[in-house]
Chain A
Amino acid sequence: MDRDEHAPFRENIPAYALGALDAADVTALESHLRTCESCRNELAEYRALGDILLMATPPAAPPAALRKRLQAQLPSAQKAARPRWTWNFGQLALGLAMLALLALNLFTFSQLRLVQRQQARLSTEVEDAQVALMMLSSPSTQTVFIQGTSASGAILLDKGQNEAVMIVEGLPPLPSDQIYQIWLILPDGSRVSGGLFRPQTKDSYTTKAIASGQTISGYIGIGVTVEPAGGSDHPTGERMFKVDF
């Protein structure tokens, strides 16, 4: 092949090396490369140049949070985040009754202050907080404490009503493609979704009203898992905590 016949192929080699050759020209060039050593050698030089361009970009430190997110995805972090369910609610409730009452008083006071701040926010958050206030003031409200690996707080429930309120802290923020989902647990072990939420970042507690299609007395527990954005039909992700009542 003389130089004139090489020319149209050689003209395309730099673009091919950078991945910029139009698709219509790629097949012809690749066919030529299979039979032309000099063009293959030239391609190798330009590809090496492309690799050098990779290195010729100034470094830029990523945010520290990125390292933590990667670390949280590693197997050891996933394993450590699973809660250990050795807590017998009945035994702890008897032994810690006085302490629980004291904690509730302090908790209620801090929550009242939190609710006052939340009234300046979005309507859903205001509604949830109002439900929490209402339940806190009701004599039939029961409190079930949350004790997860990272999460803590309480669930306020009135078994005669079809609504409960979760007040929780310590849940880590999630990427935009994930969300926390609440599950109401039926006596046969099946789960019904109680809603989706993201932890509030500005205040220490997240308050979330949990609505159900029947009175709370029809359930035996509530749990929270990490799910894909938009939620799931059943729990698929990491369980953050579960309470029985």
Chain B
Amino acid sequence: MVNPDDTELVQRVAQGDERAFLALYDRYASRVHGLTLRILGDAMLAEEATQDTFVKLWSRARLFMAERGSLLFWLLTIARRTALDRLRLEARRPAQPDSTDPEDIWQVLPDSSSLPEEARWRSMHFAVQSLQQDQRAVVELAFYQGMSQSEIADVLGWPLGTVKTRMRAAMEQLKQKWNNE
């Protein structure tokens, strides 16, 4: 469910309200930092990516539209993109065409009435961890490292077709797990 307090706070941030900005930081910094740390695997880089994410919140708050989805998803999408950009810069890898632009994502965000409680998110985390090792590897390299299927095939030494098959199988399992929660 979209937090009405979030909506009010981000509107105030858009008007330059610093207390509202810090309130949102206090509320979501741990979630953002958990994701950047997961992606970057380096405390200093993760801290910088977290900082950049909230700087973007300050400068882009006026672009947020509550009717299209939750602020947390918006923040985490920005955080993932920021962290992956940094990861590619550090590894000197080219950027991937990313269909998950935060400004375009609204139409595909989960229906707010179906947003789960915290326990469901944790169970999803465990669902990822419980995937078969091969399937988990492709999901983690794709989602948390921003690699393309070809790059994953190179890293793991698998045929491209194998990567595609295992990625689809992993996503099917996760989808079933989520729908059964």
Contact = CB atoms under 8 A, between A and B. Distances in A.
Interface stretch (A7-15, A84-92, A138-146, A228-236): A7-15
B82 interface: no
Contacts of A26: 97, 99
A55 to B, nearest CB: 5
Contacts of B77: 51, 54
What is the size category of the interface that chain B forms with chain A?
Answer: 35 or more
Contacts of B73: 51, 54-55
A83 interface: no
A197 interface: no
Interface in A51-77: 51-63, 66-67, 69-71, 73-76
Interface string A11-46: 110111111111100100000000000000001111
Listed residue (B142, B150, B175) with the most chain A CB atoms within 10 angstroms of its CB:
B142
Contacts of A60: 30, 33-34, 37
Contacts of A53: 124, 128, 139, 143, 174
A63 B46 CA distance: 11
A67 B22 contact: yes
A59 B178 contact: no
Nearest to B146: A19
Contacts of B62: none
A131 to B, nearest CB: 34
B86 to A, nearest CB: 14
B34 A58 contact: yes
Given A47-B108, A54-B76, A66 B164 contact: no
Contacts, number: 149
B171 A70 contact: no
Contacts of B108: 43-44, 47-48, 51
Nearest to B148: A22
A11 B169 CA distance: 10
B30 A75 contact: no
B50 interface: yes
B18 interface: yes
A50 B100 contact: yes
A220 interface: no
24 contacts: A14-B170, A15-B164, A16-B99, A19-B100, A20-B143, A20-B146, A23-B96, A46-B175, A47-B100, A47-B105, A50-B143, A51-B108, A52-B121, A52-B174, A53-B124, A56-B128, A59-B30, A60-B33, A60-B37, A62-B46, A69-B51, A70-B54, A73-B55, A75-B16
Minimum-distance CB pairs A-B, first 10: A20-B142, A59-B30, A56-B124, A47-B108, A60-B34, A56-B125, A54-B76, A14-B171, A62-B33, A59-B34
Interface of A: 11-12, 14-23, 26, 43-63, 66-67, 69-71, 73-76
Interface of B: 16, 18, 21-22, 25-26, 29-31, 33-35, 37-38, 46-47, 50-51, 54-55, 58, 72-73, 76-77, 80, 96-100, 105, 107-110, 121-122, 124-125, 127-128, 139, 142-143, 146-150, 152, 164, 167-168, 170-171, 174-175, 178
